[in-house]
Structure 1
Amino acid sequence: MEDGQFAEIKITVDDILSCSYSNWYSKFKDYTFSEAAIYKPLSKEFIEYLESDGIELPKDTKKDSVLFQDVSPNSDNEYSDWENDDNEKETDESIKKFEDFHLTLREKIKEFGSVAPKLNWSAPQDSVWIMTGRNMRCYSTTDLFLLLKSSDYLNHDMYHAFDEACDFDKSNPPKFELELVLRKWVEINPSMEFRCFVRDRQLIAISQRDLNYYNFLDELKDELTEKIGIFFDDILLSKNEANSFVFDVYVPKPFNKVYLIDINPFQRSTDPLLFSWNELATMSVSEDDIKFRLVTEHNSGRFATKAHSQNHVPKDFLDASVDTQSMVDFLKKCKELELNGDSESESESESKENPK
Structure 2
Amino acid sequence: MTDGHFVVIPVTVEDVLYCSFSSWYAKFGKYTISDAAIFKPLPKEFVAYLESDGIELPKENKKDSVLFQDAKPNSDNEYSDWEESDAGILKNSEKMNSDPTEHFKSFHNELKETIKSFGSVAPKLNWSAPQDSTWIMTGRNMKCFSTSDLFLLLKSSDYVNHDMYHAFDETTDYDKANPPKFELELILRKWVDINPSTEFRCFVRDRQLIAISQRDLNYYSFLDEIKEEIMEKIFMFFDDVLMGKFDCNSFVFDVYIPKPLKKMYLIDINPFQRSTESLLFSWNELATMKPADDDVDIRFVTEHNSGRFASKAHSQNHVPVEFVNASVDTQSMIDFLKKCKNMELENSDSDDSSNEETERL
With the length of structure 1 as denominator, give the TM-score of the two structures. 0.92
Query: Are 1:113 and 2:122 counterparts?
Result: no
Q: Which deviates further from its counterpart, 326-335 or 277-286?
A: 326-335
SS of the residue aligned with 1:205?
strand
Which string of whole-angstrom CA distances, capped at 9 and with x for unpartnered residues, describes residues 182-230 of structure 1? 1111100000100000111111111000000000001111101111111
In structure 1, stretches of 5+ residues that fail to align are: none
Q: State the shift of 1:274 in Å.
A: 0.3
Q: Which amino acid aligns with 2:20?
A: S
Which string of whole-angstrom CA distances, capped at 9 and with x for unpartnered residues, describes residues 146-180 of structure 1? 11111112221111111111211111111100111
SS of the residue aligned with 1:97?
helix
Query: Are 1:310 and 2:316 counterparts?
Result: yes
Query: Are 1:89 and 2:118 counterparts?
Result: no
Displaced runs of 4 or more, over 6 A:
none
Which string of whole-angstrom CA distances, capped at 9 and with x for unpartnered residues, describes residues 225-270 of structure 1? 1111111111112221111100000000121111000000000000
Q: What is the root-mean-square deviation in Å for CA atoms of aligned residues?
A: 2.1
Q: What corresponds to 1:286 in structure 2?
A: 292
SS of the residue aligned with 1:249?
strand
- Aligned residue runs from structure 1 range 315-334, under 5 A: 315-334=321-340
Q: What corresponds to 2:254 in structure 1?
A: 248
CA distance in 2, matches of 1:84, 1:6: 48
Q: Which deviates further from its counterpart, 59-68 or 5-14?
A: 59-68
Q: Which amino acid aligns with 1:212?
A: N
Q: What corresponds to 1:205 in structure 2?
A: 211
SS of the residue aligned with 1:135?
coil
Q: What corresponds to 1:277 in structure 2?
A: 283
CA distance in 1, matches of 2:8, 2:203: 16
With the length of structure 2 as denominator, give the TM-score of the two structures. 0.91
Q: What corresponds to 1:12 in structure 2?
A: 12
Compared CA separation, residues 320 and 256, structure 1 to 2 (3 A): same
CA distance in 2, matches of 1:302, 1:84: 41
Compared CA separation, residues 224 and 68, structure 1 to 2 (3 A): same
CA distance in 1, matches of 2:92, 2:300: 51
Compared CA separation, residues 80 and 222, structure 1 to 2 (3 A): farther
Q: Which deviates further from its counterpart, 285-294 or 210-219?
A: 285-294
SS of the residue aligned with 1:216?
helix
Q: What corresponds to 2:36 in structure 1?
A: 36
Q: Structure 1 residue aligned with 2:220, among 197, 214, 239?
A: 214
CA distance in 1, matches of 2:148, 2:313: 24
Q: State the shift of 1:339 in Å.
A: 3.5
Which string of whole-angstrom CA distances, capped at 9 and with x for unpartnered residues, describes residues 18-65 of structure 1? 000010112111110111111111122111111111111112112333
Contact 2:213/2:280 (<8 A) preserved: yes
Query: Are 1:223 and 2:220 counterparts?
Result: no
Q: Which amino acid aligns with 1:275?
A: F
SS of the residue aligned with 2:23?
helix
Compared CA separation, residues 303 and 339, structure 1 to 2 (3 A): same
Contact 1:16/1:265 (<8 A) preserved: yes
Q: State the shift of 1:128 in Å.
A: 1.4
Q: What corresponds to 1:61 in structure 2?
A: 61
Q: State the shift of 1:341 in Å.
A: 3.2
SS of the residue aligned with 2:274?
coil
Contact 2:19/2:127 (<8 A) preserved: yes
In structure 2, stretches of 5+ residues that fail to align are: none
Q: State the shift of 1:66 in Å.
A: 5.1
Contact 2:209/2:296 (<8 A) preserved: yes
Compared CA separation, residues 114 and 82, structure 1 to 2 (3 A): farther
Contact 1:114/1:138 (<8 A) preserved: yes
Q: State the shift of 1:83 in Å.
A: 5.2
Q: Which deviates further from its counterpart, 332-341 or 164-173?
A: 332-341
Q: Percent identity?
A: 69
